[in-house]
Structure 1
Amino acid sequence: MLGLNLTKEKIFQLAYESERVIHGTPSGIDPAISTYGGVVLYRRNEGVRPLQVKTDIPIVVGETGFERSTGDMVAKVRKLRDTYPSLIDPIIRIGGLIVKEALHALEEGDLKVLGDLMNIDHGLLSAVGVSSCTIEKLVYMARQAGALGAKLTGAGGGGCIIALTEKDNIWKVKKAMQNAGWKAFAASRAREGVRIESNYT
């Protein structure tokens, strides 16, 4: 890229710093997954850990049609935590436990457990105030159509939801959201991540 021969680690660092300029408090997961591709475990203080997951992970994405400010959502949760630390801190710790259980489910290829964990995680995110009426409608619509699990993604407040489903149920989950007037599409993981398609140097 530009003849610089950048490693993926360096590309991720540059992308993360660029994202910080845009909204100040990024998690880093977007540049991490875009750079490395596949399935990754990412923690801001630990970096990126690519995972070897052999099982297909069929996902349907539903769009709320509403934009939201990541900074506003982060500030909202921070204010709630400052007001009720004895209640919110345990929720955050449970979120960490869910990540550990989800990692194990991915390694075992257990989509049923992964879906259950997504549902639990969504409940926690809703509890700290980053869901919305539209998000809840999409989440429950996906579940009623047979999704194994569904949750908001990103900062919440708007944006998208993701629904985990079995392969033969992708169409039903997608059509349930589309028939109700929302945009939805099936997604699959990109195994490669960032790459150079043309080199003009």
Structure 2
Amino acid sequence: MITVSAPGKLMLMGEHAVVYGYPCLVTAVDRRLTVSMEEAADGEVTIDAPESNNTRFVAEAITLGTAAWGINHHGLHIATKSELGNYGLGSSAAATVATLKALAVLFQKEISDRELFELGRRVVVAVQGNGSGFDVAASVWGGTLYFADGGKTIQPIELEELPLLVAYSGVKADTVNLVAAVAQKRKQYPERVERVFESIGKLVLQAKEALMKQDWERFGKYMDFNQEYLRDLGVSTQKLESFISAAKHAGALGAKLSGAGGGDCVIALATKDKKQETRNALEEVGGEVLELVPNAEGVHP
């Protein structure tokens, strides 16, 4: 029996623009998805995933992984266990990466992180039709990453800390429809939307420099600017805005939605002296503050 786990993710900056090749910043979180795998003799591939709806990603990972690595087997028994819940923390990517890594370890295939990433992205695209790959990268490498050029550039950013609070809105984001809505807006207003994407791309570059210096005041301002562009794209909601406003009034240096929008999570940058006040403010407006730590370790047995 081989057991492998991969982390979930939080998008820090660059939502939606990343779909069109612009850069983003993403961090892995310490909530993980675990895959256990063993060979069987019944000729069947069985997947037991009681806590998630990621069996399609697991099954596709097995299909593409066995083909890519020339693996012949007489059956596999696979079980997953997830700490990621339905919070929009990248469970599909984590399931994909953990399954591929477990398959490689079980059949003693030496693969690089880059190979794992490329195959993982292929799995995600095969299942859902698109995918920029930043979530797969977070599950593979872990830590905090600068992701650019459609994944050609993946740069780890060394951080001692990342003082984030994460609040779930209680609403599940419909990522596929939100991405499609932004695509439609881009088709209707190509110049205007492209200008927004270009501005987000520039912000990400500036935020990367602030992050590397751990200049939290500057990074918080860039988060706020990014949120303004996400409002322009129409992916924020009244509920998310109430969370952001509450966090800012409580002393957070920056706050924004994380992910596709429409629901899921808000992230707030709160230093130690403002952390409890910010937490209280988010809970008072209905936020479920998640106990998780960013900048977590990548996939490992």
- The normalised TM-score by structure 2 is 0.61
Matches of residues 62-141 of structure 1 in structure 2 within 5 Å? 62-141=167-246
- 2:273 aligned with 1:168: yes
Q: 1 CA distance for matches of 2:296 and 2:204?
A: 21
Partner of 2:118: 13
Partner of 1:199: none
Displacement after TM superposition at 1:191 (Å): 4.4
Partner of 2:260: 155
Q: 1 CA distance for matches of 2:112 and 2:212?
A: 27
Closer, same or farther in 2 for the Cα pair 1:86/1:144, shift >3 Å?
Answer: same
Closer, same or farther in 2 for the Cα pair 1:134/1:86, shift >3 Å?
Answer: same
Query: Which shows bigger deviation, 187-196 or 145-154?
Result: 187-196
Query: 5+ unaligned residues in a row in structure 1: which ranges?
Result: 197-201
SS of residue matched to 1:178: helix
Closer, same or farther in 2 for the Cα pair 1:191/1:63, shift >3 Å?
Answer: closer
| Contact 1:35/1:193 (<8 A) preserved | yes
The counterpart of 2:128, out of the listed 14, 19, 23, is 23
Q: How many residues align?
A: 196
| Contact 1:170/1:186 (<8 A) preserved | no
Query: Which shows bigger deviation, 150-159 or 78-87?
Result: 78-87
Query: Which shows bigger deviation, 177-186 or 116-125?
Result: 177-186
Q: 1 CA distance for matches of 2:230 and 2:133?
A: 18
Displacement after TM superposition at 1:53 (Å): 2.5
Displacement after TM superposition at 1:48 (Å): 4.5
| Contact 2:252/2:268 (<8 A) preserved | yes
Structure with the higher helix share, 1 or 2: 1
Closer, same or farther in 2 for the Cα pair 1:23/1:65, shift >3 Å?
Answer: farther
Q: 2 CA distance for matches of 1:95 and 1:87?
A: 13
Aligned-pair Cα RMSD in Å: 1.8
Structure 1 moving runs of 4+ over 3 Å: none
Structure with the higher strand share, 1 or 2: 2
Closer, same or farther in 2 for the Cα pair 1:167/1:24, shift >3 Å?
Answer: farther
Query: 5+ unaligned residues in a row in structure 2: which ranges?
Result: 1-104
**CA displacement, residues 117-152 of structure 1 (integer Å, 9 cap, x when unaligned):** 000001101111111111111111111111111111
Amino acid in structure 2 at the alignment position of 1:153: S
| Contact 1:40/1:48 (<8 A) preserved | no
Structure showing greater radius of gyration is: 2
Q: 1 CA distance for matches of 2:246 and 2:291?
A: 15
- 2:167 aligned with 1:58: no
Provide the identity percentage: 30
Displacement after TM superposition at 1:6 (Å): 2.5
SS of residue matched to 1:45: helix
